[in-house]
Amino acid sequence: MSSLLIEGIGVQNWTYIIVGITFALYIGIAIWSRASSTKEFYVASGGVSPLANGMATAADWMSAASFISMAGIISFAGYDGAVYLMGWTGGYVLLALLLAPYLRKFGKFTVPDFVGDRYYSKTARIVAVFCALIVSFTYVAGQMRGVGIVFSRFLEVEINTGVVIGMIIVLFYAVLGGMKGITYTQVAQYCVLIFAFMVPAIFISIQMTGNPIPQLGFGSQLADGSGTYLLDKLDGLSTDLGFAEYTKGTKSLVDVFAITLALMVGTAGLPHVIVRFFTVKRVKDARKSAGIALLLIVILYSTAPAVAAFARTNMIETVSKQPYASVPEWFKKWETTGLITFRDKNNDGIIQYLANKNDNELIIDRDIMVLANPEIARLPNWVIALVAAGGLAAALSTAAGLLLVISASVSHDLIKKIINPKISDKGELIAARLSAVGAVCVAGYFGINPPGFVAAVVALAFGLAAASFFPAIVLGIFYKRMNKEGAVSGMIAGIILMLFYMTKFKFNWFGGGTKANWWFGISPEGFGTIAMLFNFIVAFVVMKFTKAPPEEVQEIVENIRIPSGAGEAVNH
């Protein structure tokens, strides 16, 4: 009786109920945690516990791309998908061992704060602000678009209406609560998104392999009694259709290496991730929350490749060589959204899904692998609704973190530090809120009118972070002799080289932008690695010919290497 009632509610209503409850929760938290000073607004007064910060960092980090797209990308890329898995987790090791504890000890509000003070120069600060803004804006546009897409697919509203609803929610808690509000909503959002990701994954793992733990089901035999291992089956299915073996991949070794390293270093250099470590009390809390954050991220990231393999196998078996007339209901439903397209080229009424582009009749958008997975596996309606809430939580939490970096860059690094140093704390807080409003509007605009190159510039964001911030910060901590001339020219050289390579090979601005002409066989996605090395080299060479940093700067460096006496993030 009760299960009949639950079935009767329908996907649509379930989605309204679950999304409605989570949104009410986020707004409630925002009202409870209003910020009343710049210190609360920028770094939540430096009083966040390591566990809360770890959860917030995980939600901050895992965006719509991690939640919705990553498993899909892996299911089409097979082994090559490992660049994202290792790249987006390995960066946390660098963060925990090389950056987070020292930046926490330094104890200011933003990444440009560190760069500007350590390299005793306004130029360094401005270059850093410029990088932080570009990286964060490219990211946030994608998030707002993600919010719109989830709304439109699950609640059948216009994508643009979805973007506006998302803007209003983020505006509410980011502008009101600042870092404090964002931190505690992100804690709630982590819980929503991980639950929403794991429930369908566990269901599907049980269905396909009989093992409730997806990470183990991934390497188990199929539950159909054939005694075949899932991955062997998938390798076989892939080669039958003309694709590469699933566990082999198609990218060259050097490119896989370069992309993985660029993503790792880029992750460690992203300002919205780094700034989260300013919010804890002590240096050891910064180390601890990096560990907790990675643990919580890896729960999702180690599940994603399992989901990818399950979904891929399920998909091929459900549609390949099947008559179009008898496809399941979800196929027709997603066909109307344009995410599945079928063209019966040989008019035999059978779906030919093949690697060969001329004979292939089926095109599947990678996002479906997560969004439609519960339907493909015929899971209950409330699970489908949960996925919608999870996708929204992932997109909103990342958008909020990025908006804070943008508003702090404008109100703190530009207005307080460069344009009007005499501004009062109250005035700066108003400026911070206004810049957050401005940033939300710009992000919303890009969400509604997405630039065609969004996908390309997200890769650029990692490359830029790798090519600019990472060397400057690491050298600032580990190499006392590094001076402003070296660091600034390194950052500029790294960014320019990265921009040049991206525009050359993504947009073909300078001609010859084809794969055959890649330098060292490295794709634009992996080029951050080369640009980073170039940054290091330029920094060292220029440093050799210029004078050492002043005594007091060398003292700053000695001071940040000692963990005790971090105090709270200082207001300055």
Partner 1 sequence: MKNKEKAMAYWKENIKYVSILLIIWFLVSFGAGIIFKDALDKIKIGGFKLGFWFAQQGAMYVFVILIFVYLKLMNKLDKKYGYNE
Residues of the shown chain interacting with partner 1 in the complex, contacts defined by CB under 8 A: 74, 79, 81-82, 85-86, 89-90, 92-93, 96-98, 101, 215, 218-221, 229-232, 247, 253, 256-257, 260-261, 282, 284, 287-288, 290-291, 294-295, 298, 301-302, 305, 558, 561-565
Q: What 3-state class would DSSP assign to 45?
A: helix
Q: How far is the CB of 412 from partner 1 (least distance, A)?
A: 27
Q: Which is nearer to partner 1, 183 or 267 (CB)?
A: 267
Q: Which is nearer to partner 1, 11 or 254 (CB)?
A: 254
Cβ contacts of residue 17 below 8 Å, gap of 6+?
A: 9, 385
Q: Which is nearer to partner 1, 34 or 284 (CB)?
A: 284
Query: What string of DSSP letters covers 448-507?
Result: HS--TTHHHHHHHHHHHHHHTHHHHHHHHHH-TT--HHHHHHHHHHHHHHHHHHHHHHHS
Q: How far is the CB of 256 from partner 1 (least distance, A)?
A: 5
Q: What 3-state class would DSSP assign to 224?
A: coil
Q: Which is nearer to partner 1, 125 or 281 (CB)?
A: 281
Nearest to 372 by CA among 294, 442, 424, 314: 314
Distance CA(55)–CA(290), nearest Å, equals 10
H or E stretch covering 147: helix 122-155
Q: Which is nearer to partner 1, 52 or 256 (CB)?
A: 256
Q: How far is the CB of 125 from partner 1 (least distance, A)?
A: 27
Q: How far is the CB of 13 from partner 1 (least distance, A)?
A: 37
Distance CA(478)–CA(51), nearest Å, equals 28
Instruction: Specify the residue for token string 């009083």.
Output: 47
Q: Are 526 and 262 in contact (CB under 8 A)?
A: yes
Q: How far is the CB of 3 from partner 1 (least distance, A)?
A: 34
Quote helix, strand, coil % in the chain, to nearest 5.
75, 0, 25
Q: How far is the CB of 36 from partner 1 (least distance, A)?
A: 27
Q: How far is the CB of 463 from partner 1 (least distance, A)?
A: 18
Distance CA(146)–CA(70), nearest Å, equals 13
Q: How far is the CB of 513 from partner 1 (least distance, A)?
A: 26
Q: Which is nearer to partner 1, 145 or 287 (CB)?
A: 287
Q: What six digits make up the tokens of 501?
A: 């390579």
Q: Which is nearer to partner 1, 234 or 429 (CB)?
A: 234
Q: Which is nearer to partner 1, 22 or 523 (CB)?
A: 523
DSSP state of 78: G
Q: Which is nearer to partner 1, 184 or 246 (CB)?
A: 246
Query: What string of DSSP letters covers 514-559?
Result: SGGG-GGG--GGGTHHHHHHHHHHHHHHHHHTSPPPPHHHHHHHHH
Distance CA(183)–CA(285), nearest Å, equals 16
Q: Which is nearer to partner 1, 457 or 566 (CB)?
A: 566
Instruction: Convert 164-219 into a string of H (helix), E (strand) and C (coil).
Output: HHHHHHHHHHHHHHHHHHHHHHHHHHHHHHHHHHHHHHHHHHHHHHCCCCHHHHCC
Q: How far is the CB of 99 from partner 1 (least distance, A)?
A: 11
Q: How far is the CB of 466 from partner 1 (least distance, A)?
A: 15
Q: How far is the CB of 510 from partner 1 (least distance, A)?
A: 31
Q: Which is nearer to partner 1, 426 or 561 (CB)?
A: 561
Q: What 3-state class would DSSP assign to 567?
A: coil
Specify which residues 221 forms β-bridges with: 229
Q: Are 97 and 228 in contact (CB under 8 A)?
A: no
Distance CA(407)–CA(182), nearest Å, equals 13
H or E stretch covering 342: strand 340-342
Q: Which is nearer to partner 1, 290 or 431 (CB)?
A: 290
Q: Are 484 and 124 in contact (CB under 8 A)?
A: yes
